Chains A and B, each alone.
Chain A
Amino acid sequence: KQEVTQIPAALSVPEGENLVLNCSFTDSAIYNLQWFRQDPGKGLTSLLLIQSSQREQTSGRLNASLDKSSGRSTLYIAASQPGDSATYLCAYAGAGSYQLTFGKGTKLSVIP
């Protein structure tokens, strides 16, 4: 069974720091990778979608990269703010599949 690993499981940083969240996957035939944010007790908010033909996507202070050959994606958050505190999940769609395979997430706390 293909897996998605997100390390670390939790991260605490001071406000203003730049940070990187990591996502690794075992499936070499992914078609896209999506990053989500989840606030406690809430649904998932889509942040960025990277197609397999792309290397990175940017939205505001967020930048996501994808390296299929190494099975890794990173989410870079610039100038972190307390409002960025949430759990961040990555998920990929495999070859010909409707299904997303999710990591267990990284819980981010940004300390004022």
Chain B
Amino acid sequence: DVKVTQSSRYLVKRTGEKVFLECVQDMDHENMFWYRQDPGLGLRLIYFSYDVKMKEKGDIPEGYSVSREKKERFSLILESASTNQTSMYLCASSRSGSYNEQFFGPGTRLTVL
């Protein structure tokens, strides 16, 4: 079975802090994704990566950056956390190509005070 893990289930940070969210998958998937999920807005794509060191912006990249130095690991970085970035963050992975099944991690509930 595909396993996608995220470094923290719950995280509390202060406004202005730099925040790192880590995601690791163990199925040698080429594609990895970061989403955020908010009540009433659903899931929205922040960034995705289709290969090591490659990244593409999703629908809401502002205020975020990403890093993919190794195939199995995809990091989401909040350069200067703000209260409007309080959300549930979900990581996903899939095999290469556009149309393959995405598998999700357990999520990180981030609160920015």
Q: Do the two shown chains form a genuine complex with each other?
A: yes
Q: Which residues does A use to contact B, with CB under 8 Å?
A: 31-32, 34, 36, 41-46, 49, 51, 89, 91, 93, 96-100, 102-105
Residue B73 at the A interface, CB < 8 A?
Answer: no
Measured CA separation A93–B48 after assembly (Å): 14
Interface contact A49-B40, CB-CB below 8 Å: no
- Count of residues in B whose CB is under 8 Å from the partner chain: 26
Interface contact B45-A49, CB-CB below 8 Å: no
The interface residues of chain A lying within 8 Å CB-to-CB of B4 are: 43
The residue in chain B whose Cβ has the minimal distance to the Cβ of A31 is: B99
Interface contact A98-B42, CB-CB below 8 Å: no
Nearest-Cβ distance from residue A64 to partner chain B, whole angstroms: 13
Interface contact A103-B50, CB-CB below 8 Å: no
Interface contact B42-A34, CB-CB below 8 Å: no
Interface contact A43-B102, CB-CB below 8 Å: no
16 A–B contacts, CB within 8 A, in A order: A31-B99, A32-B99, A34-B102, A36-B104, A42-B106, A44-B104, A89-B42, A89-B43, A93-B99, A98-B31, A98-B50, A98-B98, A99-B59, A100-B43, A100-B102, A105-B42
Nearest-Cβ distance from residue B65 to partner chain A, whole angstroms: 18
CB contact list, B42-63 vs A, under 8 A: 42-43, 45, 48, 50, 56, 58-59
The interface residues of chain A lying within 8 Å CB-to-CB of B103 are: 46
The interface residues of chain A lying within 8 Å CB-to-CB of B48 are: 98-99
Nearest-Cβ distance from residue A37 to partner chain B, whole angstroms: 11
The interface residues of chain B lying within 8 Å CB-to-CB of A42 are: 106-107
Residue B90 at the A interface, CB < 8 A?
Answer: yes
